Amino acid sequence: MSDHIVSWKVYVGVFLALVALTVTTVVAASYDFGPLNVIVALGIAITKATLVVLFFMHARYAGGLTRLVVLSGVAFFFILVFLTMSDYVTRSWSLTGAS
Amino acid sequence: MPEASAPPAQGPLAHHFANLKQQKHAAVLGMWVFIAQEVLFFGGLFATYAVYAMKYKEAFEAGSGHLNWKIGFFNTLVLIASSLTMAMGVHSAALGRSRRIVGWLLATVFLGTVFLGVKYFEYGEKIAPCFGMGAGPGCLVPGQLFDASVLHVAADVAPETQIFYSLYFAMTGLHALHMIVGIPIILWIAHAAWKGRYSPAWHTPVEIVGLYWHFVDIIWIFLFPLLYLMGRH
């Protein structure tokens, strides 16, 4: 079998990183970064999710076809949010400059 | 025939696969396709949240600020720990240690149950006051009984806080439903591990349920900051 057997220490390391990032997101939430608040929170969440996908879900050791499916899931979610927001964000825009 | 020289198959090899490796790759790929579909299933709710959080910023910050972030923080740690125990279960399966698989899977089920137990009290505090019961601050189920006074918002913003709580219940509810579905499946696989059905060569069900559980963890990783932390600034 081509099973990649990773040391259990890798899993514990990923777990500790996830705990540290969870603490970071809570601490960051007590500061006001203005419009960057959501960016900071989502940036930390995306980092955590990436760690889970790569190490816990073994995507790092997976073949090309599996990686393609993982990326397509992310890509289609991006299309869903991007096209939806491109509509809602621009509804109040006006060609004449009046809001 | 090249298959003839292959080592004897351990575990159930379906006749339409050449070998266990190919069978496993098909199963793992299929699970990832399912997860990609789940991303878009939850994605609709996340997109809805994004639109309304932008449109009704003040109401969403008030609604989020009323949620107890400490409970959400605790549950995040519980769920991350359950992902670790699940990863260790899959690790034990790859090493062929059946008894350890059972231990790690039961630990995962325990942590998942703790998460749902906390969620039960969290929901109860918001739902019970609608029926005149419980010690919660006020009814927070969207609808006629919704009591926006506990959120301390302006009268014109109050109705919009119901949208936050609609999404709160829909998103955490769908997430909790995934856990409720996952726990019996993990127990079923733990039972099969106890019977010694898995080997280093074939333990695909353990891997597949692991992928599912980690995906459910990822959803919560996004729900926690979006629902519990947006109102803390």
Q: For the segment A78-97, what is each residue's pLDDT rounded down to a tens digit?
A: 999 999 999 999 988 887 76
Please say whether the beta carbons of B66 and B73 come within 8 A.
Answer: no
Statement to judge: residues A48 and A67 lie in one domain: no
Statement to judge: residues A72 and A57 lie in one domain: no
- The pLDDT value recorded for residue A2 is 45
Domains delineated in chain B: 69-134+163-233 (1.20.120.80)
Please say whether the beta carbons of A38 and B211 come within 8 A.
Answer: no
| Residue B26 near chain A (CB below 8 Å) | no
Distance from the B141 Cα atom to the nearest Cα atom in chain A, whole angstroms: 26
User: What one-letter code names the amino acid at B178?
Assistant: H
Residue B186 has pLDDT above 70, yes or no: yes
Of the listed ranges A17-26, B128-137, B148-157, B186-195, the least confidently predicted one is: B128-137
Q: Do A49 and B88 touch (CB under 8 A)?
A: no
How many whole angstroms from its chain centre is CA B206? 17
Q: Do A22 and B76 touch (CB under 8 A)?
A: yes
Measured between its terminal Cα atoms, the distance across chain B in Å is 67
| Residue B54 near chain A (CB below 8 Å) | yes
Q: Look at residue B94 and give its three-state secondary structure.
A: helix
The Cα–Cα gap between B54 and B15 comes to 53
- The pLDDT value recorded for residue A98 is 59
How many whole angstroms from its chain centre is CA B182? 8
Counting every residue written for chain B, the total comes to 233
**Residues 59-78 of chain B whose Cβ lies under 8 A from any Cβ of chain A:** 69, 73, 76-77
Statement to judge: residues A24 and A72 lie in one domain: no
Q: What's the pLDDT band for B3 if we cut at 50, 70, 90? A: very low
Chain A hits for B69, Cβ within 8 Å: 26, 29
Statement to judge: residues A28 and A70 lie in one domain: no
- The secondary structure of B26-87, three-state, reads HHHHHHHHHHHHHHHHHHHHHHHHHHHHHHCHHHHHHHHHHCCHHHHHHHHHHHHHHHHHHH
Statement to judge: residues A18 and A56 lie in one domain: yes
Range of the domain at A53: 1-61
**Residues 143-202 of chain B whose Cβ lies under 8 A from any Cβ of chain A:** 200-201
Chain A hits for B29, Cβ within 8 Å: 65-66, 69
Task: Give the residue-averaged pLDDT of B183-207.
Answer: 95
If one counts the domains in chain A, the total is 2
